[in-house]
Each structure stands twice: as C-alpha cells, then as structure tokens.
Amino acid sequence: MAGTGHTVKSYEEEMQSLNDNLVKMGSLTETQIAEAMAAVIKVDKDSVDKIVKNDGSINELRSIIDEQITTVLVKRAPMAVDLRITLSTLKISHDLERIGDLAKSIAKKVKPLPIDLPDELIGSLRRLGDLVQKQLKEVLDAYLNKSKDKSIEIWKKDEQVDDLTNLAMNEVANYLQSDKKNLEIATHLLFVTKNIERAGDHITNIAESLYYLIEGEYLEGARPKGKPIDS
Amino acid sequence: MELENKKIKIQAKNLNVYYGAKQALFNINLEINQKEVTALIGPSGCGKSTFIRCINRMNDVIDICKVDGSIEIDGSEINDKKVDVVMLREKIGMVFQKPNPFPKSIYDNIAYGPIIHGLAEEKNQMDNIVETSLKKAALWDEVKDRLDEPGTSLSGGQQQRLCIARALSVSPEVILMDEPCSALDPIATAKIEELIDELKKSYTIVIVTHSMAQAVRVSQKTGFFHMGKIIEVDSTDKIFKNPSNKMTQDYITGRFG
Ligand SMILES: Nc1ncnc2c1ncn2[C@@H]1O[C@H](COP(=O)(O)OP(=O)(O)OP(=O)(O)O)[C@@H](O)[C@H]1O
Ligand SMILES: [Mg+2]
C-alpha cells in the first residue's frame, strides 16, 4: 500500500520478512483451527496429539515476529504507514497465537468425547466452526489485499458467530437435559463452543488492527455486541 | 483538536521568495501558533531556511533575494517598509545550525544584544539579564564561574546553549532555530530538546530539523516542504502517524529518491 519501496533496501527486506512470517503464521493457524474442528465433528481422537504438537510452530513464529518487530523499532524508528504496519503486525500475531491456543484447547477436549453425540449437536458445532474458519480465511485474505471494506464486513459478521454460539450452547443444554449423566461431556462441549466463539473474537480484533493499518484510524464504535474479549 | 483554539502568532500568506531569477518559495501559506513548537521538515534545498529567514527579515541582507507576499506577526505586517528591522529582530531571536558565539567573553556574548537594544542601564541590571538568560538556557551552572572566558572555549553543545541564551537576552517572543542540534551529540541534543520543552511555555518556537524523531519529540505542529512548496501542515501527531499526503508519507518513511 505504500507504493514505492524504502530507499534503504534492508529496511524493505525486513518489512517483507515480517509480512511473510505473519502470512505463514496465519496459514498455520487456519490449518490448526480446521483440524481441531474436524477432530471434534468426527470425534477423531487420533489427530489430537498432532494438533497439540503443531501449536508449537505458531508460538515459535510469534516469538520470531516479536523479535523482528523489536529490531525494526530500534533500527528504523518506523513512521506513519510503517509504524502502523509494525504495530498491527505485533497485535495480529498475538491474536493468531491465541487462536492457535484455542485450537489446541478444542482438540484436547476431543479425547473424552463419546462417538455417538446427537446429530443436532454436532451439526450446530459444525456450523459455528465453519463460520469461524471462513472468517479467519477472509481476514487473512483481507490482510493480504489490504481491503478496508472486507475488514469492516468481517468485523460486523462477528454477530453471526455469537448467534451460532448461542444455538450451539442450546444444543449442549438439550444434550445435558436428556440425561444428567452427560454432565461431564456437556462441560467439555461448552468449553469447545466457548473457545470457538473466542477465536471469533480474536478474528474481530485482527479485522480492527487491519482497519487501523489501512486507515490510520480506529474502527468506529465498539465491537458489534460490546462484549469483552476472553479473560 | 487542540490546534484549533491556539492563538496564531505568525501568519504567512501567499509568500513567494526569489533568489535572482530562481524562485525558492511558492505561495506559502502557514500559520504558526503562539507558545507552541512548529517543526519544518523537508529535503535539502526545499526552502526551510529561506522560509524561517523571512520571519525575521534576514533575507533582507541577501542582495539578490526578493520577498513577495505577507507575513503577519500578531496581526501586523512585517514586510511593511515602516517596520524597524532592528526592533523586529529583537522580538524574533534566531539560533543557527552551527553555534556562532561572538569572539568575546561568555558574559559579553549575552550582554551584546541588551546593550545595542538599550535594555540595561546599570551594571547590576546587566548582570541580572546575563544570569537569567543563562539560566533559561540551562547553562548557568556550567559557566557561572567562567563568565570571562571566551564563548568559543565552550563545547559545541554549550556554545549552542550560549547562542540560545543570547537570543533570550533581549526577551524575544519568537525563537527561530535552524537545525540547532545537527552539530551536537545525543546528550547535548537532549539538553536542547529539554530546553525547547521549557521555552515553549513562554515563547513561540519554529524549528527546522532533518531529524524526524526530533520533530516528533519537540513539536506540536509540523509542516512538510518540498521544492519550495508547503505540501502538508498538520498536528505533529497526525503527520507522523497518518499523513494525508503521499509525498509526506514517502519522505518521513524514507521512500524518497
Ligand atoms: N543566498 C542564496 N543565494 C541563491 N540561492 C539560494 C540562497 N540561499 C538559498 N538558495 C536556494 O534556495 C533554495 C532553498 O534553499 P534553503 O537554504 O532555503 O533550503 P533548505 O530547505 O534550508 O535546505 P537544507 O536542508 O539543505 O538547509 C535552494 O535551491 C538554494 O539553492
Ligand atoms: Mg537550511
């Protein structure tokens, strides 16, 4: 978006490498969320360990990005768009790392699940998971294209994530009501649902950071429902 | 924004400046707020020094230089023939890139201005002016026991503060600084910047600087010049976080040339 490159080539290369690492991190996170959701839907316990292990690469990239950003700040004292790119990359990388953590937590809940969960319950989790995956893919695309309109669209769509979260919660409640012995499993499923929703919140944060990067201003108003991000 | 309710101290309107046939400034319009620091930035040769020299009519001394248009200070035109240039320069002090103390004692460097402007009648009045000026320039403690030594015996950073003290000695309202720190080390620079922070409570300051970081640190308003034109003027915050003009952005982010 800045048009011509920096006069100092190594500065240009540093910013490029930062961008590349963030994109790499985004794509790893996308895979992790997709695999964690697939594991839940199919109650595929075999994939859990791999998902847990792969979270390490996301964390590693986060540390690399932190380090690179510190270097850019010290060496270049970035201004204007460079400053905004640097700050947004820092924030986005942290949100991606959190999404990665949530994918890992979701996967860990798969092991105790029974294979005969009700179709409606699985269906509601799938719809929620699909939407969040779509949001994540779109926000990463929007980052690549520096699309302001997309960032607003994604930000607004978090409301749908909330709606699907409520539906999934209801299904979990039904499942619990049908047999009180389901309590432990239902608790796991509530965590899964909550974690997907939180991933959605981090995606909203990314949309906000992206908007700031592009516009140099913060998105008007609070997030759609004004709910605080996970504590 | 806070810029809105500040009083305008200096206003340039349709200012054009020529060196012989060559035009150096094109239709400059710029407002400088009272008791605030305005930074002027831009590539070498873009006209920053030419502009600040208009504010105290220093361009008058350059034969081939012709200034057209208006500069008002507190609403009155300074390019008017009736304006007493000596009085004007009493009101508007200037500090240059290279510290240029007179080849005289530290004391006389400060006393010189007040003498020619007839500001002190007795020795103790003058002593007082010298002391206060040096204190305002944060130099007093370092030189109070060596006031008789030549100004040139001081370090570069001290010399620059001596020049600031000299500018302050005639109680100016405006201080123009043309790259005042470019010959100084980081500590001397920090001292000058700290001094600027202090001085802006009482004076209107215009500073030309090639250091973006310095402009951010010391100023509230920034003007970007390019090839004799003002490209963008805004709050310093806006200019360095989110400039409106692409040329400004390219310049401050190092994407020029
Ligand atoms: N005394 C002079 N005689 C002729 N031309 C001059 C004179 N002073 C400046 N100029 C020209 O006017 C233009 C603006 O010069 P000025 O010194 O104002 O630039 P500047 O922005 O202060 O540059 P720098 O950052 O290098 O100090 C330049 O093209 C310069 O060559
Ligand atoms: Mg100059």
Run means of pLDDT, 10 residues per run, chain B, 257 residues: 74 98 98 97 97 95 95 96 92 92 96 90 94 93 96 94 94 95 88 92 96 96 98 97 96 87
Q: Which of A10, A79, A82 to mutate to test the interface with B (most CBs of B within 10 A)?
A: A79
- Domain range for B100 is 8-252
CATH number of the domain encompassing residue B28: 3.40.50.300
- Does B90 reside within a domain? yes
- Does B33 reside within a domain? yes
- A79:B212 CB<8 A: yes
**Does the CB of B247 have a partner CB in chain A at under 8 Å?**
no
Question: Exposed/middle/buried for B193, CB within 10 Å: 0-12, 13-18, 19+?
Answer: middle
Asked which of A20-34, A209-223, B21-35, B81-95 is least confident by mean pLDDT, the reply is: A209-223
Q: How confident is the model at residue A224 (pLDDT cuts 50, 70, 90)?
A: low
What is the Cα gyration radius of chain B? 18
- Does B192 reside within a domain? yes
The CA dihedral of B148, B151, B156, B162, to the nearest 10 degrees, is 90
- Does B175 reside within a domain? yes
* B132 CA to centre of own chain: 20
- Does B188 reside within a domain? yes
- Does B54 reside within a domain? yes
If one counts the domains in chain B, the total is 1
Which residues in chain A are closer than 8 Å to B186, comparing Cβ atoms?
A: none
Which residues in chain A are closer than 8 Å to B255, comparing Cβ atoms?
A: 2-7
Distance, CA of B174 to CA of B54 (rounded, Å): 13
Which residues in chain A are closer than 8 Å to B240, comparing Cβ atoms?
A: 79-80, 83
For the whole model, what pTM was predicted? Answer: 0.86
Of 1.10.3090.10, 1.10.10.10, 1.20.58.220, 3.30.300.30, the CATH number of A2-215 is: 1.20.58.220
Residue of B nearest to A83 (CA): B241
The H helix count followed by the E strand count for chain B is 10, 10
Q: How confident is the model at residue A6 (pLDDT cuts 50, 70, 90)?
A: very high
